[in-house]
Structure 1
């Protein structure tokens, strides 16, 4: 475990101006990420340079509106590219989840100055990290009724009148790779606020202590803030209007990542089968590539991957439609359909990650084959936003028309209430 300040701010090279050019560069970096993903999982190496290369290739401005220099892709396009990233290395979509979440909030931000400042920075290559959860809520039993837990991180005024942030965060995914962090803090009045702070300030320390069974290179450990200044125009997503559809968005990012894992499971299991020199004494043939039972396993994996892809596409389309209409009812519908996809995708992908071992026998459990990382990573992703509650949420909506209420609305006023 290492504790270290983040490096000094880095210059951002020129961004690609055309989406087609960016796609080529982005996919080239995905290829590089795929080559070392298995080894990085074993060694614990973080893909710093490749994440920065993605930022330089325009990955972070995919959803930035054109008026601010972005590509303004629709949600289905974004989630498909995130699935491609997940196939290369499933740590990558999770590293970027905080960034794309911040961009989604900024797209709906009601403060025009805040919106313009940060979307332009994103289009210039700036990367946002996330710091919401705190260890104190679990350790001290301070969890609140809204599901977020208590916030002990504070914003205070210095003698000079500047606002600074101090506190400790956990699950601070992506912050280790970021230029700015969107951090949750106490507003001093019993509520929460989100502020943007510089990720590479000397007062930011990142502890590499994430001990999960999967997603080990996402930087999801502890981050400690000591009098870190709040950036100018640094209060983001103050009102509910900026947060519509956010519950669905953050979950669909995980679903895209799971789809990527399923695709990787299929591709890597095929490679294992093609490389086998024998099967089993009970097999109908000693040629693994001609063994009917082994081929049936590959077919099953393919079906599961296609199932996950279809559910992802459906959820992405419903969320895109909700944003197009702006109807709160459509956002509720998108939440329900995302919950439906969540249950189906998780079942399909975890099943594929488990079944893959049947295609290769005992040799597939060797660490050098790297198949185990897919189940561990999928299981870790599947544990976010617990799926056990989703069938009840879906059923209550279908039977009683009780729509789920966004957790992001808790403690947030509407703009007309300011």
Structure 2
């Protein structure tokens, strides 16, 4: 059996396993967006079914999915509910980091947690007028062999659903930047769902506050050891969200047009579902969804190359220079995809409304959530900066940075 055949079979099996859950998720997505109800039960069902462990090797209790397979599933999930896909963004990034970490009891412990259904949320972005690059969340020795963490974070996507919080912090004893894996359910950890964006409303995003919360030394990870393609990976989840938004819009607008009973005297057909101009609009949305999905696949392949490179470097099979090149390629691929997909998908979702009439704007249909969700996802990590950096690479050979920071400019 060829590698491609084996990969195709595994993806087919994974879809058979998770598609029934995705279909249930899709059925309630519009109402959750309208009411603001968080998808706690849906995410819990995914975790219980092993979705959070699909990247873990079969020998360790997971499904052994490659990155292209993972992101095929991510697009499927995003087409069902983009909020849930984005809520799991940090979990899969943390899984990825643990997959390429050094072998040993610590790594094994984390893999077992993932297989058991435990999830990881995000807590990276400092709140307030912190300077760019400054870290004001601190981890301090408690004097009895452990550590305490204090600080406040915003944009803590998915943390409300999580068992652990992937928290960017600084040690007071060494001054080193670290990732503190903090147990979410303990005194001293407060999670607020206070994200007020007009899209991605149910991602469980908001403020995380740490007040003398405990963290074990074994769960302090040197930030410099994080997987090098992390920024590209985080961006890829948002690309999957964009592709999923386009696929969901294609599906729902097509159903609306098929069932439409009203038409116009100056239309091109007596029945809206047979009007060639309206069919063209749906066709163009479908084509955009196809292009978005294909672009996600190309980025997935670049990420898989970076993952493979990390393992080869650990084994001494390639040079450090070759590993850097693989990671640079993954970063470039995700940036190029972001620059291309953001306007492509947003334009397609805007155009989708041209296939219907004023009734398409009815809040009861909630079709506008697809545009709102894509617009919100597209505003992360502004693509205009990426376009400039891609141009700098093309003209001057300047490689893209792989770590980004945000904060006050003064």
- Whether the TM-score (by the shorter chain) exceeds 0.5 is yes
Is the 8 Å Cα contact of residues 146 and 217 (structure 2) preserved in structure 1? no
Question: How far apart are residue 286 of structure 1 and its match?
Answer: 3.3
User: Which piece of structure 1 moves more, 180-189 or 50-59?
Assistant: 180-189
- CA drift at 1:285: 2.2
Q: Distance in 2 between matches of 1:127 and 1:325?
A: 26
Taking structure 2 as the reference length, what is the TM-score of the superposition? 0.89
Q: Trace 1:95-110 onto structure 2 (pairs within 5 A).
A: 95-110=87-102
Kindly state the Cα deviation for residue 22 of structure 1 after the two structures are TM-superposed.
5.7
1:398: how far off?
Answer: 2.2
Q: Equivalent residue of 1:205, what SS?
A: strand
* Mapped contact 1:243–1:408 kept (Cα < 8 A): no
Alignment of 1:29-44 (within 5 A): 29-44=21-36
CA deviation string 1:335-359 (max 9, x = no partner): 1121111111112211121111111
- 1:354 aligned to 2:350? yes
Shift of 1:134: 1.8
The counterpart of 2:118, out of the listed 106, 114, 126, is 126
Query: Relative to 1, partners in 2 of residues 1:287 and 1:331: Cα closer, same or farther, differing over 3 Å?
Result: same
Task: From the superposition, tell whether residues 409 and 223 of structure 1 become closer, same or farther in structure 2 (CA, over 3 Å).
Answer: closer
> Conserved in 1, the CA contact under 8 Å of 2:160 and 2:193?
no
Return closer, same or farther for 1:395/1:59 CA change in 2, 3 Å cut-off.
same
- 1:117 aligned residue: 109
> How far does residue 117 in structure 1 lie from its aligned partner after superposition?
1.6
- Structure 1 pair 213–301 and aligned structure 2 pair: CA distance change class (3 A): same
CA contact (8 A) 2:389 2:400 kept: yes
Unpaired runs of 5+ residues, structure 2, are: 1-9, 311-322
| Counterpart in the other structure of 1:208 | 193
Q: 1:176 aligns with which of 134, 137, 160?
A: 160
Secondary structure, aligned partner of 1:402? coil
| Structure 2 partner of 1:301 | 285
Partners in 1 of 2:221 and 2:11 — Cα distance? 27
User: Does residue 390 of the first structure (1) align with residue 386 of the second (2)?
Assistant: yes
Deviation at 1:325, TM superposition (A): 3.3
- The residue that corresponds to 1:337 in the other structure is 333
The question of whether the paired residues in 2 share the 8 Å contact of 1:305 and 1:348 is answered with: no
Aligned-pair distance for 1:232?
Answer: 5.3
Verify: 1:244 aligned to 2:228, yes or no: yes
Cα distance in 2 for partners of 1:282, 1:143 equals 58
What is the Cα deviation at residue 267 of structure 1? 0.4
Matched, 1:163 2:151: no
Q: Which runs of 5+ in 1 are unaligned?
A: 1-17, 411-418
Tell me: CA distance 1:232–1:190, structure 2 relative to 1, closer, same or farther (3 Å).
closer
Partner of 1:26: 18
CA distance in 1 between partners of 2:400 and 2:208 (Å): 32
- Residue aligning to 1:82: 74
Cα pair 1:252 1:312 within 8 Å, conserved: yes
| Conserved 8 A contact 2:199-2:376 | yes
Aligned residues: 384
Match of residue 196 from structure 1:
181
Q: Scaled by the length of structure 1, what TM-score is found?
A: 0.87
Partners in 2 of 1:294 and 1:203 — Cα distance? 56
Deviation at 1:72, TM superposition (A): 2.2
Deviation readout 1:266-291 (Å, 9 max, x if unpaired): 00000110121112232122311011
1:244-393 residue pairs with structure 2 within 5 A?
A: 244-326=228-310, 327-393=323-389
Q: Matches of 1:398 and 1:388 in 2, distance apart?
A: 16
Cα displacement string for residues 135-163 of structure 1 (whole angstroms, at most 9, x for unaligned residues)? 12xxx3x222x4xxx32222123353421
CA distance in 1, matches of 2:79, 2:335: 22
1:405 to 2:401 alignment: yes
Deviates more, 1:34-43 or 1:157-166: 157-166
Q: Would you say the 8 A contact 2:87–2:203 is kept in 1? A: yes
Q: Higher mean Cα deviation, 253-262 or 152-161?
A: 152-161
Q: Tell me, yes or no, if the aligned pair for 1:109 and 1:237 is still in contact at 8 Å.
A: no
1:14 corresponds in structure 2 to none
